[in-house]
Structure 1
Amino acid sequence: MNIVDGLSYREWQKRNSINFKKLTKLQQKKARKKGYYNIGWKNVRESWQVLSQILDPINLFNVRLNKGDLVGAIDHSILEAEQSQIIARQAINDIERKQSKIHALAKESQDKYQLL
């Protein structure tokens, strides 16, 4: 018997089916369009990926807290904060670059088309 991530084929199928039934009819259609097909090892694993994208994402901070891993939860929060700062800096740099381009275009237009 094959076991992947601690679950047998039938357990994977059952987990998929239970979670699929929790979806709204519209979400079920969306899952099928994305490739949900709960037969065959490869399909069952891919179906879990499809369901995972549709279901509420797991909050790793809460998972670690529930396991009693306070240090891991704090480390995760710090990592997320650092990643957020990096993304914010990149966004600011992008905005400043675009602002410079806009100012250059505006100056070029003013020089080319002087006011009457």
Structure 2
Amino acid sequence: MTPICTRCDRAIGDGQAYDVHLRHSASGAGCTVYTHQLCPPRTAAEAAARAEYDGASNALVDHVENCVCCDISHIDCSRRRELKKVWRAARRADTAARQTAR
């Protein structure tokens, strides 16, 4: 089994320094989490996709927190629906960029 870093979502290769974190749970079994001690740098495509995803996420959250329509009914707000579509596309692009970098 190849451990996956929870910070950068990449495999931890042979010879790479990493930390092991045990996460205990009161309601069920715990888990073991792995993190690089120093995550490898992102490619330009990964960084651009992540920036677009972060921007879309922030725009969506800002709108939902400040929109009167969203306080009443999330379904009726057309701006929220538009932002959600942009956010989904950015999330898909970010996921694809991370998978091609592996």
Fold shared per TM-score above 0.5: no
Larger helix proportion, structure 1 or 2? 1
Q: Say which structure, 1 or 2, has more relative contact order (CA 8 Å, 6+ apart).
A: 2
Give TM-score, length-normalised by structure 2.
0.28
Give TM-score, length-normalised by structure 1.
0.26
Larger strand proportion, structure 1 or 2? 2
